[in-house]
Structure 1
Amino acid sequence: MTPAVTAAVLLAAVTHACWNAIAHRITDKLVGFTLISGGGLLIGLAMTPFTAVPATGAWPYLLSSSVIHIVYYALLMRSFRLGDFGQAYPIARGTAPLVVTVLAAVFAHEVPDGWAAGGIALSCAGLTGVALWGLRGRRPNWVAVGAALATGVAIAAYTVVDGLGVRASGSSFGYIAWLMAVQGVVIPAYAFRHWRGETAAVLRPFAVVGLLGAALSVAAYALVLWAQTRAELAPISALRESSIIVGAAIGAVFFKEPFGAPRIAAAGLLVVGIGLMLHAG
């Protein structure tokens, strides 16, 4: 985890939290994700003439990731419908790093050393603290929690699949371009069938903000994929999920959801965990 990789992943965390907030802000989740996914498709197609086609060995990963991303989008839409942004987002993102650590050890043979393992553990403790704070003082909506947990497992799955795929691709930008182009077809196609002749009228009021979300989404994941070619998957996953703290701040400022001292403490744990992962690097 060099300073350059760390900076790239932290920037990805900020942009990722922003596009998730945009997706949550659009009341009709199908509208939001149609614009974000369709915008990603357009950006991916625009990138393909200027990037290398991924190597043959990367395509099984890329196609598998596309399927997992569709499942992820569906679960994320359900999470946002059922729960507050400050609850659903931390649980979904906070579940992923530990699962990624296990999957990366099994499939990528990346077993973190003592410093990195300590950093991942502390970071996950901070992220879990944010998630638990989102549930305080009320009876949990277990359906919403279950959807958010399932979203986290999907995140972990595509993180490891894409980590292996981008390393086999020969071009991180070529991989992200084709990944966006392939996976971006499904949700817009479903939406067009669902709305039929009314599609343009339904999407138009949210087009600008939705396409902004798409650009942020592509930028965030491109940074992560580039980082995955230069560092191990588990520390990158833990560091990327610092977006939870950004998401909590966005929830407090724009959605009037409480932040509170426990989240400040969780952010402190996350910072210490990042420091340990940098020491390991």
Structure 2
Amino acid sequence: MSFLALTLIVISAFMHATWNYLAKRSEGGYTFVWLYMVVSIVVYAPFAIGLFLWRDSQIGWLEMGFMAGSAIIHLAYSLLLQKGYKVGDLSLIYPICRGTGPLIVAIAAFFIYDEKLTTTGVIGIVLITFSIFIITGGMEAIKRNGTLVPLLYGLLIGVMIASYTLLDKGAVSVVMMQPLMLIYGSIIAQTVVLSPFVFRRWKDVRHEWRYHKKEVIGVGVLNQLAYILVLTAMTFTPVSHVAPVREMSILIGTIMGSHMLSEGFGPRRIAAAGAMVAGVIAVAVQ
């Protein structure tokens, strides 16, 4: 992996953990998702318009298809993530979903994009799986502490992460779409889909904006920027390398949840998250 790709992904990891921390602090739900998407549309409009005019980007049916597919998966991911944060801790949900995502990507990329999976990569996958088990406290803790539901949410969110990562990889490296154009089109589509539901609960929108304005703006800016950096790295780096390395945010998010949000099981989850980071790095350098 090149130094440029690594730099982009590390910066993205810090942004990603930060916006997830902000999302956990909000009251969540689809009104919050809709609000931060509207913020994203407004903030990134000048850049999207400028890129469209400067690069003379062609958006045909194929590109629109990728935008629509990305929008559907991203919307499912966003709504599941908000629900997951309502039923579980950030220091539990975040490592599980971010750890299982690259695991699935590394395996799927072997078949879809003909990317290699070496012995080092297999070791990394084992470390990731083991870390997830430790973070949840093992089977007894799952049964005793009601961790099963958050665990299932984390795994399902991880599937969504893998799905949009693999789809978007095809968009930027095979179809050669500009990352910003892909993301911007996806955001608009998601906002349109959510709007009819949000307009029926406008009181909730005003409440969310009044009490969580900072969180809405923070997520609206950082969420998209973090992913733009990742997609940019994907244009010249194998997805099976990018997806694991970006999960260095796992350790950051776990520390935020354990200390800044005063969630329990801090030392164990931080140690397990560290092992997970080792696992994803092993997958990255395979």
TM-score (norm 2): 0.84
Structure 1: state its 5+ residue gaps.
Answer: none
Tell me whether 1:20 sits opposite 2:27 in the alignment: no
Q: Is the 8 A contact 1:70 1:186 kept in 2?
A: no
Tell me whether 1:81 sits opposite 2:80 in the alignment: no
- Of the three residues 184, 209, 219, the one matched with 1:177 is 184
User: 2: CA distance between counterparts of 1:89 and 1:272?
Assistant: 16
Tell me whether 1:229 sits opposite 2:230 in the alignment: no
The correspondence of residues 184-199 of structure 1 with structure 2, limited to 5 A, is 184-195=191-202, 199=205
The correspondence of residues 49-68 of structure 1 with structure 2, limited to 5 A, is 49-52=49-52, 53=57, 56=60, 57-68=62-73
Shift of 1:104: 1.6
Q: Is the 8 A contact 1:163 1:225 kept in 2?
A: yes
Q: Is the 8 A contact 1:130 1:263 kept in 2?
A: yes
What residue number does 2:216 align with? 210
Partner amino acid for 2:159?
V
User: 2: CA distance between counterparts of 1:6 and 1:123?
Assistant: 20
Aligned partner of residue 201 in structure 2, secondary structure: helix
Structure 2: state its 5+ residue gaps.
Answer: none
Q: Is the 8 A contact 1:40 1:181 kept in 2?
A: no
Q: What CA deviation, in whole Å up to 9, does each residue of 1:29-58 have, x standing for no partner? A: 344323222222323433221114365443
- Of the three residues 139, 143, 146, the one matched with 2:145 is 139
Q: Is the 8 A contact 1:91 1:128 kept in 2?
A: no
What residue number does 1:47 align with? 47
Tell me whether 1:149 sits opposite 2:155 in the alignment: yes
User: 2: CA distance between counterparts of 1:204 and 1:33?
Assistant: 15
Which region of structure 1 is more displaced relative to structure 2, 37-46 or 226-235? 37-46
User: 1: CA distance between counterparts of 2:210 and 2:235?
Assistant: 38
Q: What CA deviation, in whole Å up to 9, does each residue of 1:173-199 have, x standing for no partner? A: 332332333333333442223226x74
Instruction: Mark the CA change 1:210 to 1:145 in structure 2 (over 3 Å): closer, same or farther.
Output: same
Which region of structure 1 is more displaced relative to structure 2, 33-42 or 156-165? 33-42
Partner amino acid for 1:71?
A
Instruction: Mark the CA change 1:219 to 1:273 in structure 2 (over 3 Å): closer, same or farther.
Output: same
Instruction: Mark the CA change 1:6 to 1:148 in structure 2 (over 3 Å): closer, same or farther.
Output: same
What residue number does 1:253 align with? 259
Q: Is the 8 A contact 1:19 1:217 kept in 2?
A: yes
Percent of residue pairs identical:
27
Q: What CA deviation, in whole Å up to 9, does each residue of 1:89-145 have, x standing for no partner? A: 222222212211222222222232344444454455445544548x95842343332
Aligned partner of residue 241 in structure 1, secondary structure: helix
Q: Is the 8 A contact 1:21 1:85 kept in 2?
A: yes
Q: CA RMSD in A?
A: 2.8
Instruction: Mark the CA change 1:279 to 1:71 in structure 2 (over 3 Å): closer, same or farther.
Output: closer
Q: Is the 8 A contact 1:120 1:234 kept in 2?
A: no
What residue number does 1:220 align with? 226
Shift of 1:218: 0.9
The correspondence of residues 111-126 of structure 1 with structure 2, limited to 5 A, is 111-123=116-128, 125-126=130-131
User: 2: CA distance between counterparts of 1:146 and 1:275?
Assistant: 25
What residue number does 2:109 align with? 104
Partner amino acid for 1:89?
Y
Instruction: Mark the CA change 1:210 to 1:115 in structure 2 (over 3 Å): closer, same or farther.
Output: same
